[in-house]
Chain A
Amino acid sequence: MGLDPNSRARFNLKDATVLLLDATPLGMTILVQIVTGLGAKNLHRCADVESARQAVEANQIDLAIVDSLPPDGEGYDFVSWMRREAGEPNCYTPIIMTTSHTPRSQISRSRDCGANIIIKKPFPPITMLERIIWSSKEDRKFLFSDTYVGPDRRFRNIGPPKGVKGRRREDITATPLPQAGAEAQDASAES
């Protein structure tokens, strides 16, 4: 992602509609200070999931920055709702999740909710800008399945894990030939 902090490249967030969800007043203030500094003007500031849902139902959201909302992690449920229930175009909206700490019991929930990326607090403005740019990239496939709806979580096609049959059509081509199997899989594991 690495953005040069002295970069003269220009990014325009002025006309982007940005949804912010954070339950704590200071957490919200921090988010607002960062995104307005980066140039965003149209903000929906939501302190709870219900107001965030209303904002999504009434507006086209270009970017959502959603806190996990500890300790219950309602933020994950909100992202999941947005992916599954919000309808087009908001179901495709880039979503950046922020988290202070993820309890071990919620790790799979955070992985499966459908956010584009999760960033851990504290994060400097450059991290947020890098993630905004990265999340907006249009070449990332979007997956609808029974158990997951969201951006494709596979970033490299190195085939299925050893001993596991691939679940996708392209996995079949990634499966090595029987005789060369062990070597090919070792090579892919190292790549």
Chain B
Amino acid sequence: MSTARFTVPKQRLAQLLRTPGGPPAAEALAAARDNLAVLKPQCIGELKDLLEAAEKTYSRLGGYEEAGLAELYEAAVRGVGLGDLCGAGSVDVALHSLCDLLDHLQTQAIYDAEAVGVHLRAWRLLISTELPAEGAQKVLDGLNRVSAKFGVPKSEEA
């Protein structure tokens, strides 16, 4: 039988946060948002570079190949979060859907070029055009249908 021990540690962080002299939360948040705003061009550039790398890998994949799917996954997972910072949050949703799909394909040791391809085309569409929100939502709905067709389990929201 395993043993367990509990303790309630003192957190230095709690004391530091309470130390007088910190900025009001509203000001700190505004400063953080301003800091992030300057990264927009970098984020767009990175998303395009990752997409190009993913398309290159995709174009040489003829069937199930573990290393190739891993490369695609790495490109997609590195892009998650960047869309939101450049005002294209739907890219993050599409990339998350692609990660779910690739995880599923890797787990099942299968490959479907069309399912991956439609995600890559959606990725390009969502970063390269100023789609209205309804248009972006239609693209995302389409990706959901593709994933559902393959029985891709949706990962938990954190």
Interface residue ranges, A against B (CB under 8 Å) = 3-16, 24, 26-27, 29-30, 33-39, 60, 62-63, 70-71, 89, 92-94, 99-105, 107, 118-126, 128-129, 132-133, 135-147, 152, 168
Contact = CB atoms under 8 A, between A and B. Distances in A.
Nearest to B12: A62
A167 to B, nearest CB: 8
B24 A10 contact: yes
Contact of A102 (B9, B28, B73, B155): B155
A122 B89 contact: yes
Contact of B25 (A10, A136, A138, A147): A10
Interface of B: 2-14, 16-26, 28-29, 31-36, 38-39, 42-43, 46, 70, 73-74, 76-78, 80-85, 89, 92, 96, 99-100, 103, 106-107, 153, 155-158
B35 A70 contact: no
Contacts of B83: 122
A10 B11 contact: no
B6 A143 contact: yes
Given A101-B96, A138-B8, A71 B70 contact: yes
Main secondary structure of the interface of A (DSSP, over half): loop
A100 B5 contact: no
9 contacts: A9-B24, A27-B81, A29-B42, A33-B32, A35-B32, A36-B35, A118-B158, A136-B11, A145-B5
B3 A146 contact: yes
A88 B56 CA distance: 48
Contact of B32 (A15, A24, A38, A136): A38
Contacts of A104: 103, 107, 153, 155
B71 to A, nearest CB: 10
B21 A139 contact: no
B28 A101 contact: no
A72 B44 CA distance: 25
Contacts of B82: 26, 122
